[in-house]
Amino acid sequence: MKGNGPSYSLVSYMSKSLAVSVAQFTHKGCKPINQDCHGVRVPHDELLTMKGVTCVLADGISSSSVSQDASQTCVNSLLDDYYCTSQAWTVKTSVNNVLNAINSWLYSQTRRSEFRDDFNKGYVCTLSALILKSTTAHIFHVGDCRVYRVRHNTLTQLTQDHRVIISEHENYLAKAMGMKNHLDVDYQSLALQEGDVFLLMTDGVYEHISDDFILATLADTEQNLDLAVDTLVHQALNHGSDDNLTAQIVRIDQLPIQTEEELYDQLTQLPFCSVLNNNQELDGLRILQSLYASSRSHVYLAQIMATQEKVVIKIPSVEQHHDTAYLERFLLEDWIAQRVDNPYVVKSPVISQKSCLYSVMEYVDGKTLTQWMRDHPNPSVESVRVIVEQIAKGLQSFHRLEMLHQDLRPENILISHNGQVKIIDFGSAKVAGILEIDSPLLRLESLGTVQYMAPEYFLGESGATSADIYSLGVITYQMLSGRLPYGDKVARCTSRAAQNKLVYESVLDDHRDIPVWMDSVLKKALHIQPHMRYQELSEFVYDLRHPSTRMLNQAKGPLLERNPLLFWQSVSAILLGSVLYLSAKLYL
C-alpha cells in the first residue's frame, strides 16, 4: 500500500491454525510524495499452514526520484511471489529466492537508466519482512527499517541498521535492495508466544519516538491496534520527523497448538477403505488384482475406467488405522508425488473425488532394481552408469525442492521394459518446508533401510543431500560388485569412534572389469564423514564418466609402489636439503 495521505488497513484472521491481528498506517509527512510502501498477506486454508502470514515494509531513499517504484516493487513482488514458491521449501529458501530475483531486477533497472553511475539516485530501497509460519517468526532485513518485538512489556529491537555513521551529520546506507548485484540479507527465526507483538517501522517513525512511549501506547490501546499505529506515527510527526512515516503492528492472538487426537481427526476426514476385490469399482477405478499385502498396507493394480490407464492403489492395513504417525507419512507420500514432476520419479494421477483413504501412483511395467541385479550379476560399467544417472536425475528433483528421499534402495527403484528408471516410495522422505510446521508427533530423522542408510543417521544426526548421495553410492557399488562397501557393519556403529574404525572395501576384484579410478569415486561418495562426500549429485555422476587427475593419481596408488626409485631419490633429496640447512644454521 502506498499513498500521499493517511491509509489504514486492519487484517484480523482467526482459525484453528493461527490467529493474528495486524494494523498499518503510513503518512507522507512533510515530503511531497510518500516513498514508503507496506503490505500484509494473510492467506487461508493450506497456504496459511504451508506459507504463513507475511508482513513487509519498504522505505525509499530520499536522494532518488524513483525510489518509490523500488519500494512498491519490493512489497508487491514479495507478497505475490512468495506464495507461488514451492510449499516444500523452507521460508528462508523461498524468501531468499524471491528477494534475490527482485534485487537483480532493481539493479538491472538502475544499470539501464540514466542513474547507472550513481546508485543513490537509482532503484534502491530498504526492506524488512516478517513471516509467521506455525509457531515461528522469520525475519528478513536489509537497510535501516526496523523490526521490534514486545513480550511481557519489554521492547526488543530485533534488527540491526545497515547504516555507516561518519559523523553527526553524515552517514550512508551500507546495504539496500537494488544497491548491488549481490544481495546479503539478514535472517533470523524466533519461537512465537501468544501475546507477542511485532512492530515494523521506518526511520521516520522510530527516530522520533521513545521506547517508553511505544510501550505505553501499546498498553493503552491494547484492544485497538488501529489507534496504536496512528498514535505512534503522529507522535513522530509532532516531534519533528522530516521523512515519510510508516508503521505496522502484528499481534499473535493464537498459536497453532494441535493435539495428536486433533491431528488424527484431520488425517482421517476420509473413512478407511476396506479390503478391495478384483473387478470392484472405486471412484472411477476398477481393481484388477492384488499386488502386495502386509501389516502396513495393501497394494492393488487398478485401471482408470475413463482412460484405461493402469495405476497402483495403496490403502492402509487395518493394523495401521490408529497409528497417527503412519497415516501422516501415508498422506505425505501422495502430497510429494503430486509435487515432484520428473520422468524418473513415479507420478500420482489426480483423482478428483475420493470416497475413502487411499493413494494412487502410476503403474510401471517392469522390475525392481533388486530383480535387475539378479538378472545381471555381472553388468557392464556402462549399463550401471546409465541406471545411476537416471536415479540421480530423479533424486535431483527432490533436492531442488528441499526434500530428501531417505529410503533409496534397490526395492524402491523400478526399471521399465524399455530401461527407464522410476523412483518410488516416499513414505520416509523429509520435506524441509513441512518440518517447519509444529506437530504433536515425534518425527524420526530416517525410516530407511539400514544397509543403505548414511552412517550419520545411526548417530541420531539429521541427513542432508550427502545422505541420499551415500545411498546412491551403496547402490552403485552393489551393482558393480554384488557386495556392500562396509558389509553389515555400519548399522552396528552407533558412535563416532566406532564409525572411524570402519574401513572401505575396494569395489575392485579379479572377476570384474571395473576401471581402477572408479574405486576412488565410490570411496568418496561412501565416505563415513558427510562433509567428505560429494555434496552434489551432478559431481558424483560426472566423475563416474570423467576421471579427474586427482582420481587417476589415487588410482595409481602410492609413489613408493608406482616408482620406488623415484620415491627414494625424492627422500634422499629432502634429507640432503635438511642436512645442508642445519649445517649452514650451525655454522652461522
Note whether 343 and 422 are same-domain residues.
Answer: no
Note whether 43 and 130 are same-domain residues.
Answer: yes
Domain end among 254, 284, 299: 254
**What average pLDDT does this structure show over 430-451?**
81
- Here the cell at position 126 is 530498504
User: How much of the chain, in percent, has pLDDT values that exceed 90?
Assistant: 77
Note whether 237 and 273 are same-domain residues.
Answer: no
Structure pTM? 0.86
To the nearest 10°, report the CA torsion of 371, 376, 382, 386. Answer: -10
Note whether 28 and 120 are same-domain residues.
Answer: yes
Three-state DSSP at 479 gives helix
Q: What is the mean pLDDT of the chain?
A: 90
Q: List the single range of 92-101, 121-130, 226-235, 511-520 with lowest mean pLDDT.
A: 511-520
**What's phi and psi for 472, nearest 5 deg?**
-65, -35
Q: List the single range of 130-134, 236-240, 568-572 with lowest mean pLDDT.
A: 568-572
At residue 441, does pLDDT exceed 80?
A: no
At residue 362, does pLDDT exceed 50?
A: yes
Residue 486 belongs to a domain with what CATH number? Answer: 1.10.510.10
pLDDT score at 262:
76
Cα 541 to Cα 160: distance, rounded to the nearest angstrom: 43
Q: Which of 90, 135, 195, 123 is nearest to 431 (CA)?
A: 90
Domain end among 320, 338, 362: 362
**What average pLDDT does this structure show over 194-212?**
97
At residue 84, does pLDDT exceed 80?
A: yes
At residue 235, does pLDDT exceed 80?
A: yes
User: How much of the chain, in percent, has pLDDT values that exceed 70?
Assistant: 93
pLDDT digits (tens, 9 = 90+) for 520-574: 999 999 999 999 999 999 999 999 999 876 666 665 555 455 455 556 667 777 8
- Here the cell at position 263 is 491431528
**What average pLDDT does this structure show over 331-351?**
92
At residue 294, does pLDDT exceed 70?
A: yes
Residue 562 in domain = no
At residue 288, does pLDDT exceed 50?
A: yes
Per-residue confidence band for 588, with pLDDT thresholds at 50, 70 and 90: low
Note whether 196 and 321 are same-domain residues.
Answer: no
Cα 468 to Cα 322: distance, rounded to the nearest angstrom: 31
Note whether 63 and 148 are same-domain residues.
Answer: yes
Residue 130 belongs to a domain with what CATH number? Answer: 3.60.40.10
pLDDT score at 576:
77
Residue 324 belongs to a domain with what CATH number? Answer: 3.30.200.20
Residue 582 in domain = no
Quickly tell me which residue has 515494523 as its cell.
200
**What's phi and psi for 442, nearest 5 deg?**
-80, 115
- Here the cell at position 78 is 514479495
pLDDT score at 271:
94
Output 7 or 157, whichever has higher pLDDT.
157
pLDDT score at 560:
53
Note whether 68 and 174 are same-domain residues.
Answer: yes
Q: List the single range of 165-169, 267-271, 552-556 with lowest mean pLDDT.
A: 552-556
Q: How many domains does the chain have?
A: 3
Note whether 12 and 117 are same-domain residues.
Answer: yes
Residue 559 in domain = no
At residue 207, does pLDDT exceed 90?
A: yes
Q: Environment class of residue 246 by beta-carbon count within 10 Å: exposed (0-12), middle (13-18) or buried (19+)?
A: buried
pLDDT score at 554:
62
pLDDT score at 17:
72
Note whether 346 and 382 are same-domain residues.
Answer: no
Note whether 278 and 154 are same-domain residues.
Answer: no
Note whether 375 and 249 are same-domain residues.
Answer: no
pLDDT score at 512:
87
Per-residue confidence band for 1, with pLDDT thresholds at 50, 70 and 90: very low
At residue 582, does pLDDT exceed 60?
A: yes
Q: Distances from the Cα of 164 to the Cαs of 35, 60, 143, 376, in angstroms?
A: 22, 17, 11, 67
Residue 36 in domain = yes
At residue 119, does pLDDT exceed 60?
A: yes
Cα 560 to Cα 455: distance, rounded to the nearest angstrom: 33
Residue 177 in domain = yes
**What average pLDDT does this structure show over 496-506?**
94
Per-residue confidence band for 142, with pLDDT thresholds at 50, 70 and 90: very high
At residue 338, does pLDDT exceed 70?
A: yes
Cα 73 to Cα 58: distance, rounded to the nearest angstrom: 9
Contact, 87 vs 429, CB < 8 A?
no
Residue 2 in domain = no
Cα 379 to Cα 385: distance, rounded to the nearest angstrom: 10
Residue 583 in domain = no
pLDDT score at 166:
79
At residue 5, does pLDDT exceed 50?
A: no
pLDDT digits (tens, 9 = 90+) for 21-67: 999 999 999 999 999 999 999 998 789 999 999 999 999 999 999 99
Contact, 228 vs 214, CB < 8 A?
no
Residues in the chain, total: 588
Q: Which of 330, 329, 300, 328 is nearest to 316 (CA)?
A: 330
**What average pLDDT does this structure show over 297-304?**
96
At residue 14, does pLDDT exceed 70?
A: no
Three-state DSSP at 19 gives strand
Q: Which domain holds residue 168?
A: 7-254
pLDDT score at 564:
56
- Here the cell at position 160 is 540491526
Output the CA torsion sign for 368, 369, 372, 377: negative
Q: List the single range of 298-307, 309-318, 443-452, 553-562 with lowest mean pLDDT.
A: 553-562
Domain end among 232, 254, 276: 254
Note whether 134 and 51 are same-domain residues.
Answer: yes
- Here the cell at position 355 is 470416497
pLDDT score at 18:
87
Residue 130 in domain = yes
